[in-house]
Amino acid sequence: MTYPVSLTAIGMYVPERILSNDDLSTMVETDDEWIIQRTGIRNRRIAADNEFTSDLCLSAVRDMQRRYGISIEDTELVIVCTHTPDYPFPSVSCRLQDALGLKHAGAIDLNATCAGFVYGLHVAAGLVAAGIHRKVLVVAGDTMSKIIDYSDRTTCILFGDGAGAALVERGTQMDFLAFDLGSDGSGGLDVYRAGLSEQMDGVELKGKGKVVQNGREVYRFAVQTVTEGMSKIIKKANLSLEEIDWFIPHSANMRMIESICDKSGFPRSRTLTSMAEYGNTSAASIAISLVLALDAGQIKQGNVLLLYGFGGGLVYGSLLLRWSV
């Protein structure tokens, strides 16, 4: 038996500190015009020295609770999507479970980098649809500023910190219409961060624990993969491109998103992003874009949303969601 699944609440949080393009111009050889022209980013939020991913995630959950006036005491599982945990262990999800007082909830961290939110929703929806759980809390957050080399202008201009939270539970109708996930591990060297191993496939890794990215290859991967994937998931759901109300891709780079829209034929005017004021917030970016659009009154009841995450791994994941919150 398959049970109907709904996303019933959502929230977000970004740190207080703003890092503008003008600020970056005092740190590396760049300027506001150069950054906007290439990325569409004006500002990004940066966590305080004593503020970590678990703190951002907790604030996102609290924002979700304030917005919807809900209790989450009966949550059965906490999934945190991140690749910047406070510690290798204990997990961010365990820290969050304790901070929220969810005494009977399981806790797991999930690392699908910038596709994390979609992957987390995929796992949560599957568990609820199968009847294994009734309510799952999915939180996506990253503190990218703590793993960025601020002397490297190819990466430091892109990233910001943030978190998003969503509640997935048994509903009265199936609002999760289709998923499509995939990966291409051969592209691991295109964007990585060295860890216990400092080599990959015989190649010595750079960065000393900071993010290293081959922007051109990641751009090529994203435009080709997302464009093809949009067509694939729409066919899975027996829908047409015209029946999608909003496209919400990972907010990596505005030029990249524009290329995806142009190649797929999806209108830029119905594409939602968050990078202009918050930068690339990795796993959190789609959730943040959703909340911003809700606050702006753009997303309405019954709208069909196409969420599409992609990132290091290389991984990608899409979700067609009917909005009924």
pLDDT attached to residue 1: 83
Cβ partners under 8 Å of residue 70, min gap 6: 8, 9, 64, 167
pLDDT attached to residue 163: 99
CA distance 310 to 254: 14
What percent of the chain lies above the pLDDT cut of 90?
Answer: 99
Please, which pLDDT band fits residue 226 given cuts at 50, 70 and 90? Answer: very high
Does the pLDDT of residue 280 top 90, yes or no? yes
Fold of 177-322: Peroxisomal Thiolase; Chain A, domain 1 (3.40.47)
Which pair of structure tokens corresponds to residue 137?
A: 């809390």
pLDDT in tens, 78-116: 999 999 999 999 999 999 999 999 999 999 999 999 999
| Cα 296–Cα 310–Cα 322 angle in degrees, nearest 5 | 45
**pTM over 0.85, yes/no:** yes
pLDDT attached to residue 218: 95
Please, which pLDDT band fits residue 125 given cuts at 50, 70 and 90? Answer: very high
Which pair of structure tokens corresponds to residue 261?
A: 């829209």
pLDDT in tens, 149-158: 999 999 999 9
Do residues 287 and 165 make contact, with C-beta atoms less than 8 angstroms apart?
A: yes
**Residue type for position 32:** D
The domain covering 5-173 belongs, at the CATH homologous superfamily level, to: Thiolase/Chalcone synthase (3.40.47.10)
Catalytic residues: 114, 250, 280
pLDDT attached to residue 325: 87
pLDDT attached to residue 109: 98
Do residues 194 and 211 make contact, with C-beta atoms less than 8 angstroms apart?
A: no
What would the mean pLDDT of 47-74 be, rounded to a whole number? 97
- Burial zone of 237 (CB within 10 Å; 0-12 exposed, 13-18 middle, 19+ buried): middle
Domain residue extents for the chain: 5-173, 177-322
Which pair of structure tokens corresponds to residue 109?
A: 């961290």
What would the mean pLDDT of 252-265 be, rounded to a whole number? 97
Please, which pLDDT band fits residue 288 given cuts at 50, 70 and 90? Answer: very high
Distances (CA, A) of 320 to 219, 292, 297: 23, 19, 20
